[in-house]
């Protein structure tokens, strides 16, 4: 029996997926509890159209993220910080500081999407950060900490 899952079912599948299950499992458990509905030709057509639209939307988002990644490639951000004579900072530079520096250049990035290698930056010099734009689309940027 073919069914369409109405909600996520553990060890079976996610909402909207079409699955083939044994007749008794579908008829006596999944359908009466509202986990699934019987797959008719009309419902299958709607599900496939929705899946195609989701794929198209996903591809568009990835393409936009890759275009944005190309514009950020090779970017260097300078951040002025207070530091001691040995080059150690008074405090540290966090992903929020990097996001703020990018915002000053007109690039809007959420602080959650800035990934710092090794955590917060605590010394003067060049450091690498990664900007996460979309699943699988990450761009390394150079963050230069300079004394103020």
Predicted confidence (pLDDT) per residue in 118-142, tens digit: 888 999 999 999 999 999 999 999 9
- Name the residue ranges covered by the structural domains of the chain: 2-67, 69-147
pLDDT at residue 98, rounded to an integer: 95
pLDDT at residue 119, rounded to an integer: 82
Query: Which residues, given as ranges, of the chain have pLDDT below 50?
Result: none
pLDDT at residue 148, rounded to an integer: 84
Q: What is the DSSP string of 74-118?
A: T-EEEEEE-B-TTSEEEEEE-HHHHHHHHHHTT----GGGEEETT
CATH superfamily entry for domain 2-67: Ribosomal protein L9, N-terminal domain (3.40.5.10)
pLDDT at residue 38, rounded to an integer: 96
Class of the CATH-defined domain 69-147: alpha beta
pLDDT at residue 118, rounded to an integer: 81
């Amino acid at each position: 029996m073919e069914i369409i899952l109405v909600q996520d079912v553990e060890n079976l599948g996610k909402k909207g997926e079409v699955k083939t299950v044994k007749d008794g499992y579908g008829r006596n458990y999944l359908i009466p509890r509202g986990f699934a509905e019987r797959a008719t030709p009309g419902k299958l057509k709607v599900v496939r159209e929705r899946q195609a639209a989701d794929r198209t939307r996903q591809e568009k988002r990835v393409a936009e993220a890759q275009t944005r990644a190309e514009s950020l490639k090779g970017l260097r951000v300078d951040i002025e910080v207070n530091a001691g004579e040995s080059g150690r900072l008074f405090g540290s530079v966090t992903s929020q500081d990097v996001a703020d520096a990018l915002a000053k250049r007109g690039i809007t990035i959420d602080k959650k999407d800035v990934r710092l290698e090794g955590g917060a930056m605590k010394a003067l010099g060049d450091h690498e950060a990664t900007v996460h734009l979309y699943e699988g689309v990450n761009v390394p940027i150079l963050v230069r900490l300079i004394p103020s």
